[in-house]
Structure 1
Amino acid sequence: MHVPDGFINAPVSVAAGVVAAGAVAVSLRGARRELDERTAPLAGLVAAFIFAVQMLNFPVAAGTSGHLLGGALAAILVGPYTGVLCIAVVLLMQGILFADGGLTALGVNITVMGVVTVIVAYALFRGLTGILPRTRRSATVSAFVAALVSVPAAACAFTLIYWIGGTTDIPIGKVLTAMVGVHVLIGIGEAVITALTVGAVIAVRPDLVHAARGLAAPLKLRVDGELIDAPSAAPSPSAAPSDALSPSDALSPSGVLSPSGSATPAAARSTRKVWATGLVTALVLAGFVSFYASASPDGLEKVAADKGIDKKAEEHAASDSPLADYGVRDVTDARISGGLAGVIGVSATVVVGSGVFWAVRRRRNESSDTPAAAARRTGENA
């Protein structure tokens, strides 16, 4: 759903840019509270993974394809504020390096693909996990529903923006019907990818799923046959239902249990294995699997061509980029060209994203060391 230059007029594009800039500014501040020693290194990886999966267009209807938007996945894994920043980094890299998504439409794309999807998905996920049983299965189902709804919500947001500032005179009802119709189908693919990814992370490292923290039952320890409160521990796996959130599934940020049953602070558990596995997966998806992605136009491109929205589309300002259209210039073999472009994109995104989130995390540490912050901590501990 990358909006190109020329679809939306200049005044509305500027207004959307202001909204997007405001959202990014708020997110930079809010991300300080979300990023910690475990999640800060992974936020850049989430952005790179989303970049990679967005290269995998999947067929959804005759002559139409779709791809992951990623807002739901980012919000659930690393939090809503950090999630907006992840999508903003991905869109910026795609626009500058690969001529994907107009530069004048960057504000529109961040607002539609980042802000709207993150808000809708995160609100739905938290709402559903608040009323459903506290199990891994329920968390995965909640992720599926949240992602599914977020995509047509983004389609509605684009339609609204187009209604206000579209450069062609097309009946808005037809645009809305076409956009929502195809993006409901795309939403199913988004939901499957999001649910599988969230479920996989919950299965191995639930403490790293931001939106699922706090879903576990109160943590207990059995001492001399009696259960006592233990904020940094959880009951043994044998004492918990198979689908319940148990020691290995403990979602509380206060702590988790090691396989031996002893309490292990969550912050002490290394994320290196998760980071390495995620990065290798992203590189394989972008560098190899992307060659088999559908070549059909995505939902917005198809609707634009069918309804005439693209009559005033403009050439991308970065169309002469050596990586334009996800290929490396002067590399004639399509498989190698696309694979190299994917690897470069994932690498660039993880570097830029990690740099952004490291800076945000460092800013949080500096803020926590101020005299005012120290005074507040002293008062709280008094």
Structure 2
Amino acid sequence: MHVPDGFLSVPVSIATGVVAAGAIGLALRNSRAELLDDRKAPMVGIVATVIFATQMINFPVGAGTSGHLLGGALAAVLLGPWTAILALSAVVIVQALLFADGGLTALGTNITLMGLVTVTVSWWVFRGLIRVLPARRWSLAVGAAIGGLLSVPASAIAFVGLFAIGGQVAVPLGPVLTAMIGWHTLIGIGEAIITGLIVAAVLASRPDLVYGAQFQRSAPAAMTEAVPT
């Protein structure tokens, strides 16, 4: 999913840079409410490290792009959506600066696609599902997994939209759409499995550290260990 330099037009790159900067600014202001408990602070580094490691495993998609696990659902459910945006943005920035994974001029695009789109889609899918699923611990893991499954192709579709507006590579839009959605649907399945397993593992040992647990129907207002199995 890392977009290289020159793949999209300058206006599109600037526009996504503005969107990314605005999202980071809002996240910096709103993430404080998600980290009121000091015990959760180490989780940010742990989740970012896990996402960083999984994003370094790339699958070629074609036309100079690659696909990989994204981690938006995992970060959103464990940390909260605003903190998740910050964590994913930090991962993308480090990858671009130290590992040349994604272009510097495309930094705003990559943050928008991998940080903003995945977190937003997965978080609201998760929130919707835990409202209708039984108030059980497994429902949180299932909601996170399905959120992860849908967030990956959603990010791919967003990329195709940007490519349709300002693509600078002589590749027909149809094959790009087919390749991106096809590959990222498969990647989304892997993302769902990994996200569900990790969230289930954290719930089994420290459910109070799962930010999304507080929004489950019939769950207590605070993130406690009272979430039933």
Instruction: Say yes or no: TM over 0.5.
Output: yes
Q: Tell me the alpha carbon deviations over residues 258-296 of structure 1, each in whole angstroms, 9 at most, x when there is no partner.
A: xxxxxxxxxxxxxxxxxxxxxxxxxxxxxxxxxxxxxxx
Structure showing greater radius of gyration is 1
- What amino acid sits opposite 2:118 in the alignment? T
Say if 2:77 and 2:123, in contact at 8 Å, map to a contact too. Answer: yes
Alignment of 1:212-361 (within 5 A): 212-215=213-216, 217=218, 252-253=221-222, 255-256=224-225
Change in 2 beyond 3 A, CA 1:180/1:42: same
What residue is the counterpart of 2:117 in the other structure?
Answer: 116
Q: Which amino acid in 2 is paired with 1:102? A: G
CA–CA distance in structure 2, aligned partners of residues 209 and 256 of structure 1: 10
Aligned to 1:17: 17
Paired letter, 1:132: L
SS class of match (1:101): coil
The equivalent of 1:135 in structure 2 is: 136
Q: Name the CA distance, whole Å, in 1 between partners of 2:34 and 2:80.
A: 6
Distance 2:67 2:171 in 1: 23
Deviation of residue 38 (structure 1)? 2.0
Name the CA distance, whole Å, in 1 between partners of 2:60 and 2:12.
32
Task: Output one character per residue of 1:153-186: Cα deviation in whole Å (capped at 9) or x when no partner.
Answer: 0000000111111112433233212211111001
The answer as to whether partners of 2:131 and 2:217 remain within 8 angstroms in 1 is no
C-alpha displacement at 1:58, in angstroms?
Answer: 7.1
Alpha-carbon distance in structure 1 between the residues aligned to 2:166 and 2:180: 16
Stretches of structure 2 lacking an aligned partner (at least 5 in a row): none
Compared CA separation, residues 66 and 162, structure 1 to 2 (3 A):
closer
- Tell me if the contact between 1:215 and 1:252 (Cα under 8 Å) persists in the aligned partners: no
2:106 paired residue number: 105
Aligned to 1:207: 208
Cα deviation 1:297-354 (Å, max 9, x = unaligned): xxxxxxxxxxxxxxxxxxxxxxxxxxxxxxxxxxxxxxxxxxxxxxxxxxxxxxxxxx
Report Cα offsets for 1:65-93 as digits up to 9, x if no partner.
85310111111110110001010000011
Task: Give the drift of 1:211.
Answer: 1.1
Q: If the length of structure 1 is used for normalisation, what is the TM-score?
A: 0.55
Asked if residue 32 in structure 1 is aligned to residue 32 in structure 2, the reply is yes
User: 2:79, 2:91 → 1: CA distance?
Assistant: 15
8 Å CA contact 1:150, 1:187 repeated in 2? yes
Which segments of 5 or more consecutive residues in structure 1 lack a partner in the other structure? 219-250, 258-382
Which residue does the alignment assign to 1:324? none
CA offset at residue 120 of structure 1? 0.2
Cα RMSD after superposing both structures: 2.1
Name the CA shift for 1:95/1:58 in 2 (closer, same or farther; >3 Å).
Answer: closer
Question: Runs (4+) of structure 1 moved beyond 3 Å?
Answer: 56-60, 254-257
Seen in structure 2, the aligned counterparts of structure 1 residues 100 and 254 have a Cα distance that, compared at 3 Å, is closer
In the TM superposition, residue 123 of structure 1 has moved relative to its aligned partner by 0.1
Does residue 173 in structure 1 map to residue 174 in structure 2?
A: yes
Structure 1 or 2: larger helix share? 2
Q: How many Å apart are 1:41 and its aligned residue? A: 2.7
Letter in 2 for 1:177: T
Distance 1:68 1:76 in 2: 16
CA distance in 1, matches of 2:60, 2:177: 21
How many residues are treated as equivalent by the alignment? Answer: 222
